[in-house]
Structure 1
């Protein structure tokens, strides 16, 4: 591609020689390791590495041009300076791959909890009604029906445009994280539908405050097409604020909630059979395919999305009922002794609350809850998570999640202190995650629920005593062990 086409929409802070506009560009890279002959290297200043320190290596690899934020002279290749290389990367990638998002129905979902389940519900509803749909999110990226490993909830701008260019799908549903928004990973993309699920205590180690966290989430709606639709849960206080802001800006908003001014008003939620009754002339009933009030809201959001882009109401209501669920989201097993085991990704206070509440409402005689904390991650939510678990479970076990740079000894001491201080004598500490699960299952009896939260679909990042690599594998191992005895 000619450089002149690649630079469209990009504001430069230095001049460029006229003869360079016809320069042929073979590719883009934001890692010097990925640079090939004829590529442009975009120097991104990250949290651990600064791409400006790798410019020499990129040129040695064959970069024919470098784009960065710092003033720089004396390079053997042309250097273009911009104010923000993350934004520049999005614009360049969009131009290089021919703006593939413009040829698709683009759906973006943000919020603390429910993004993954809602995205898979939307994919199910669309594909059951003849609209092929790609998914980009936490568990994996699914493009043209094939699974591609996901490194981040929201891929980098370059990876995202690459995936979009590969996709032959008619629609794309994306989980859009607050990190991805503040780091401009969706730069250059406009959405037909944007969803806001909820906002709860999470990532405050990164954002600093709930207000900053909300501001980050709100960025998604700056990418909504003028004729697009915003779908907002206004039973969430932050959703109410977002709804008001968007209406003031003249956006088309489908608000969801119990209040009279909700566009899609909820008349009642029936926990016994997971049904949502809407307040409309047709007395619409949505049958949520999953238990729990949080999944009822996820189902409403998915239903609203599907109908907003052309799926007939009756078809959406019919097909939502046969959704099979999502890996690592309230996955249920039953032990030979009659206990129920749940594996769930819940790792925020609100998500833990809904997970344990759903277990109670589903008839759990006794709840044993297993969870842990991630080293170097938001420490301010730990007290609340323990208090919720001690209130809703009969016994909890604090164990290892991802330690990151924190030692096992330090985390064990911290977990013990937290359990003693806030656990109401219901807690214990077992740092080997597989042993914790083993103990809980062995101690359970008919009617008990063993609820394992925090990892969900994720693989373990540490080796434990049992020869397993995830919570699901550990549960399966225990089932097979019990059946062989």
Structure 2
């Protein structure tokens, strides 16, 4: 790719450039340590480091050209833009041959449910014999190969590279608000934009719910001509988004309830099983879903509506949903020898905690025990509501440590004690070591109890705990193999 072609992909964005010559660009890098001879180095003003400080290093390593927001006197071709982040996405899309134009791209945004919806959509497509790549919080899947995720939504350079390597017909992509604010999906073109819901989260980053909503709504700026929005209008923010998009003549497909929307949820039964019916026009479909909770009814229904519009036969969708194997760390269930049920879930907002605990109530739990904590240096404004939700819906709970992220253990434990005292309704206990909290719940579990461990899902611990384990699931598996304090071989 000639440097002049890079300039073409940035039409209207270039503020200054110098083409001393027109080199062949053999790669694109945003990390100076990875620059190879012939690469275009894109300097990004990051949150922890500034790529502009490493332009000299990139040149020394053989960069053929530099793109950035401020470039001094250098001896190789350069391009100056106002913002390097969106420029990177545009260049990467052009460099890799506009890969999203060649596939059906399904973007999913919202506070809760993105991962579950993405897995359900992929499972439906797989069941229908349609190939599908997946990019999200748990993992990336391309051509049936599974990769460890870098972020929920990869950076724009990695997205374009990975999609270009995919031979799959569909791409399903979780789209976080951070990714939208940081232009990570710039250069991507979306066929379907799904909106699950919006609730209090990430206000340390977005400052207000209006700003958070505005960030989420940016995804719809990337719809292809004729691309469609699929929106849960049962969520108030979803209803606002639907009206806003309709006013711009964007095609909108709505999920509602009791006769509203293009697909409506008519009847729901949650006692001991999850059964619901969906109405589309004059057709009604009954579905027995293998995972409990009203939130999973909403997740499954949004996936159903999307698949239906994609032209997947309804009976195939129903069969796929009834055989859905679940998502690692999303309402992942494990049975205790006593007959208690342990649940691991990523829930880390008030709404998500309410969904999980309410699901336990709907399944006639004997007692509900909740284990959770808070991440340091993250949105502190949601913590009070999370404790109040836990206290209202559980019989008892353990507040424990999560990732500290630079917050001192002493400060975090002090806050946990204060929150428990003020909002715990006498139900809470603070146990600093997360694995010991899980162990106590394991040792005292009784038949019919539901113990929910929330906040981390499949993620590994960043704090060293007492038990020799690396995640919540590892802790349960370790305890399952333990008898009277001895490891069972």
TM range (shorter): over 0.9
Residue matched to 1:250: 249
Quick check: 1:8–1:95 contact (8 Å CA) kept in 2? no
* Structure 2 residue aligned with 1:187: 186
Assess if the C-alpha contact under 8 Å between 2:32 and 2:54 holds in 1: yes
Instruction: Tell whether 2:37 aligns with 1:16.
Output: no
Query: Are the equivalent residues in 2 in contact too, given 1:32–1:58 (CA < 8 A)?
Result: yes
Work out whether 1:410 is the aligned partner of 2:411: yes
Match of 1:53 in 2: 53
Worse overlay, 219-228 or 275-284: 275-284
Is 2:229–2:250's contact at 8 Å kept on the other side of the alignment? yes
- Deviation of 1:55 after TM superposition, in Å, equals 1.1
Deviation at 1:290, TM superposition (A): 1.4
Partner of 1:125: 124
Contact preservation (8 Å) 1:336, 1:482: no
In structure 2, the CA distance between the partners of 1:482 and 1:308, relative to structure 1 (3 Å rule), is: farther
- Residue 8 of structure 2 aligns to a residue whose secondary structure is coil
Please report how far the alpha carbon of residue 260 of structure 1 lies from its aligned counterpart in structure 2 after TM superposition: 4.4
Instruction: Determine the structure 1 residue equivalent to 2:33.
Output: 33
Moved more, 271-280 or 413-422: 271-280
What aligned pairs does 1:27-426 form with structure 2 within 5 A after superposition? Answer: 27-70=27-70, 72-258=71-257, 260-272=259-271, 273-279=273-279, 280-426=281-427
Distance 1:201 1:456 in 2: 19
Please give the secondary structure, in 2, of the residue aligned with 1:370.
strand
CA distance in 1, matches of 2:190, 2:214: 18
**What runs of 5+ residues in structure 1 fail to find an aligned partner?**
none
* Cα contact 2:17–2:77 (8 A) shared by 1: no
CA positional deviation for 1:8: 2.3
| Distance in 2, Cα, partners of 1:311 & 1:269 | 23
4+ residue segments displaced more than 4 Å:
none
CA distance in 1, matches of 2:378, 2:311: 41
- Computed over aligned residues only, the root mean square deviation of the Cα atoms, in angstroms, reads 1.3
How far residue 362 of structure 1 moved from its aligned partner, in angstroms, is 1.1
2:258/2:266 contact within 8 Å kept: no
Count of equivalent residues:
482
Whether the 8 Å contact between 2:27 and 2:38 is mirrored in structure 1 is yes
Contact 1:226–1:251 (CA<8 Å) still a contact in 2?
Answer: no
* Number of the residue aligned with 2:446: 445
User: How many Å apart are 1:289 and its aligned residue?
Assistant: 2.9
Over 3 Å counting, the alpha-carbon distance change for 1:47 and 1:74 in structure 2 is same
> Are the aligned partners of 2:333 and 2:342 in contact in 1 as well (CA < 8 Å)?
yes
Q: 1:341 and 1:394 mapped to 2: Cα distance?
A: 15
8 Å CA contact 2:259, 2:266 repeated in 1: no
C-alpha distance in structure 1 between counterparts of 2:136 and 2:459, whole Å: 13
Q: Encode CA deviations 1:268-309: one digit per residue, 9 max, x unaligned.
A: 222233222233422222332311110011111111111211
* Aligned partner of residue 7 in structure 1, secondary structure: helix
